[in-house]
Structure formats: structure tokens, C-alpha cells
Amino acid sequence: MTSVGLDQPAAAMPPWPLLWLVTYAVALPATISGWVASFNLFDGAGLSGESPSSWLLLAYAVLSLVPDLLLLAGVLGVLLPGLRGRYVERRFRLTPPDRGVLYEIETFMREHGAAVEVRANLTRSGRLVRVYPAGLRRARVAVFAPFVKQWRADRAGAEAVLLHEIAHLRTGDHLLLGIGSPFVALLNVWLPLLLLGGVLPWVVFALSDEPTAWVLAGQLPLLVTELPRQLLLPVAALWAAELAADRHTARLGRSDDLIRVLQHGVSTRTGRYQRMLLGMSHPPPGMRRAVLLGGRWGDVALLAGWPLSLILLLVVILVGAVPAWLLIGQAPTLLEQAMTNSGGFLRDSARLWVPAIVLLALWPVLGRAWTAWWSGATTAGVGIPTRLYLAVAATVLVLFGSLVTVTA
């Protein structure tokens, strides 16, 4: 990959989605063991396949596997980026640039540190501009009709959007995010899965007179929170990547332009459901504005945000577990159960928060090389004082260390 553009700031935030992907891949054997244990539990509960409640419980067990299977597909998508690129171009009928405005967009992105090729479909109105991989270190950007209109009507706002996309390309995010991403596909089925696999069984069992209903009664809170537990960390990683791209735009002095785009938006003729799904993969506009204008506090929030999402995951787990313990008569040992399970979670999740802390501490050194690897461009420093990275890493380490000690 040849060097392009002028020196740009290196990625200031670690690549949380890629870190999550690596830790997920390492934990895959344990995940498979969990699948086996779930079906063994179903078998051992003495549920009859002739019972409607049994079939509902089995259906939930099957549905609960889908997020893991889609995440596995995401791993394969990262390993085969060229295949994803060909799928995207065939699916959206993308073609090489054939007019001046598309060459202008490509030139702008190259001048700002992204060795990228433009592909376009100017007859499609449902999207703006999205990045995708054409190979491990080859990136392309899909441009659609609404973005060309924006480029002509509000050039500064359109450039701010491109700078946001460039930030993804310069950190390798496009392997996981962007158009055709299996992780976006995961979010597209999240709500149906939650309704069919969580809410429906709960309602059916709550209203059922089936003699086997007691088997699920004590586990209802756990079942209802199953999908949020599975998806919290990847969604947090996606949000962190989007906010980091916003901060990159702000460091280049284009926060006002991007905020204007966020406030007014661009018409893409998308349905309400599609807009809701976009809100699941992208942070709320208010949060994005706060990060764009947050200065150093915005940097601190982004540096610490993904590691601390593990604490939120622990809260979600306890929210599901505590009612379940009460329903099965464990009230006398509730505090002990909560402490024991919290300690086990914190120790098991060390494979996530320990690498995150190490990455934070080393990022002032690693960030420049990481950005140069993906962008093919020379880079300046990360733009955040090293002492801030070390302070955040130390604070997160003390927090998790204290929690592990208290719950031991």
C-alpha cells in the first residue's frame, strides 16, 4: 500500500471492536461448551417434547444461539474481507466512478490519509456513504445518491462525514463495521430475537397452566436478559468506534460541521424500522454531540468507556439473576450468591479487561504504527498526552482490582 495524503493525527482510541473480536475468538470453545450445557440442561429437566411449554423452551434455546452464530460469521467475514467486498458490490450494484463529483470525493479522502477507492450507485437513495473492505488492507467507500446531493449542497458537512469514515479506515474498523458487515446484520435481528425468544416465552409461561411451567418460572429473569447480556459488549464496541471517529473529526476542527449534519440529517428515504436499527449500531445524536464538544473529558470517557462496559454487563447479569434466586427460594443467601457470582464474573472477564488496560497504557506508542499500517499514510502523534492514557489505565486497573478483592 502506498503512502497517501498529508500527515494526519494517529488514531487516539484503541480499536475496541477488534479487541473484542480477538477475545471472542479466544473464548469460542467456552461458548460452544455453553451451548452444549444449555441443551443438556433442557434434557435433564425432564421436559417432554409433547408439552407446548417444552417446545417453547427449546425454541428459546435455539434462538439464543443465533447471536453467537452471527458473531462467528463476523469472524469469518474479517478473515475473508475480499469475499465481503464482492458481496457488497454485487448486492448494491456499485460501480467505479464515472463523473467528476465522485473523483472529488475520492481525492478528498486520499488527501486526508485514506488509500481508498470509490464505488457508487447514484440511483439508490436508501444510504449515504459507507466504508467496506476489498481486502485485508484494501478499502473502498460506497457512495449513494443522497450523499452526492449533500456534497453539492453542503460541502463542509459532507467533508465532515467523510472525515468520520476516514477515521474508521485508519483504524481497521471497516473490517467489522460499514456496509455489508455481519455485525450490522446481527443488530438487524436483535429485536425480533428478543421478542420471539424472550418476551413471547415469558408471556406464554406466565399465562400457562402447564404442569411444567415451574421449570422455567425461576429462570424467567435470566431468559429475558439473555440477549442483552450477549449483545452488550459488541454494541458497546460499535458505539465506541463511532464516537472515536467523531473525536477524530473534532480534532481536525470540523466538529461544528458534523454536529450540523447530525442535527439536520440527510433524507435517505429509509423506513422507521431501519432508522431504529441504525440507532442501535450508532450512539444517540445527543451523546455524539457531547463527545464532539467534550474536549479532554470526552477523551477520558472514550478511553475508559469500553472497559467499564464490563461493569454494566455485570449489573445486567445481576438484574436477571437476583429475581431468579428469589423465585427459587435463595433469599437467605442472596448477598452471598451475588458476591460469589460477581467475583466469578470479574475473574472470568479478566481476559477482556486486562488486555484493555494494557492496550490503554501502550497506545501512545502503538497508535501511530497501527494507523500507518491501515492507512498507508505517515501519521502525526495521537494528540492526547501520554499521562492521560496512563491515568485512565491506572484508574481502571484500581477499580477492577478493588472489585475482584471485595468479591473474592
Region 178-193: mean pLDDT is 77
Query: What's the first-to-final CA gap in the chain, in angstroms?
Result: 50
This prediction has a pTM of 0.86
Q: Give kind and range of the element (H or E) at residue 297.
A: helix 295-327
Region 387-402: mean pLDDT is 96
Output the pLDDT for position 39. Answer: 64
Measured CA to CA, the distance from residue 293 to residue 388 in angstroms comes to 18
Give the model confidence (pLDDT) of 141-182 as tens digits.
999 999 999 999 999 999 999 999 999 998 999 988 888 888
**Strand pairing report for 116-121 and 129-133:** unpaired
Output the pLDDT for position 2. Answer: 42
Q: Using 50, 70 and 90 to split pLDDT, how confident is the model at 243?
A: very high
Output the pLDDT for position 265. Answer: 66
Q: Using 50, 70 and 90 to split pLDDT, how confident is the model at 404?
A: very high
Name 37's Cβ contacts closer than 8 Å, sequence gap at least 6: none
Name 381's Cβ contacts closer than 8 Å, sequence gap at least 6: 9, 10, 364, 367, 368
Q: Is 29 exposed, middle or buried (CB count within 10 Å of its CB: 0-12, 13-18, 19+)? A: exposed
Among candidates 175, 169, 148, 130, which has minimal Cα distance to 18?
A: 175
Output the pLDDT for position 326. Answer: 76
Place of cell 445527543: 286
* Cβ-contact 112, 89 below 8 angstroms: no
| pLDDT above 90: percentage of residues in the chain | 40
DSSP 13: S
Give the model confidence (pLDDT) of 228-239 as tens digits.
787 788 889 989
Region 268-277: mean pLDDT is 58
Region 45-50: mean pLDDT is 52
Tally of CB atoms within 10 A around 144: 22
Q: Using 50, 70 and 90 to split pLDDT, how confident is the model at 244?
A: very high
| Three cell numbers, residue 268 | 435517505
Give the model confidence (pLDDT) of 282-314 as tens digits.
898 899 999 999 888 889 999 999 999 999 999
Output the pLDDT for position 270. Answer: 55
* Cβ-contact 396, 357 below 8 angstroms: yes
Expressed in percent and rounded to 5, the helix, strand and coil fractions of the chain are 70, 5, 25
| Three cell numbers, residue 296 | 479532554
286: amino acid identity, one letter? G
Sheet holding 129-133, edge to edge: 116-121, 139-144, 129-133
Among candidates 290, 176, 161, which has minimal Cα distance to 237?
A: 176
Beta bridge partners of residue 133, listed in sequence order: 139
Measured CA to CA, the distance from residue 125 to residue 345 in angstroms comes to 46
* Cβ-contact 251, 293 below 8 angstroms: no
Output the pLDDT for position 288. Answer: 93
Check whether 3 has a pLDDT greater than 50. no
| SS3 (DSSP) at 121 | strand
* Cβ-contact 21, 11 below 8 angstroms: no
Check whether 89 has a pLDDT greater than 70. yes
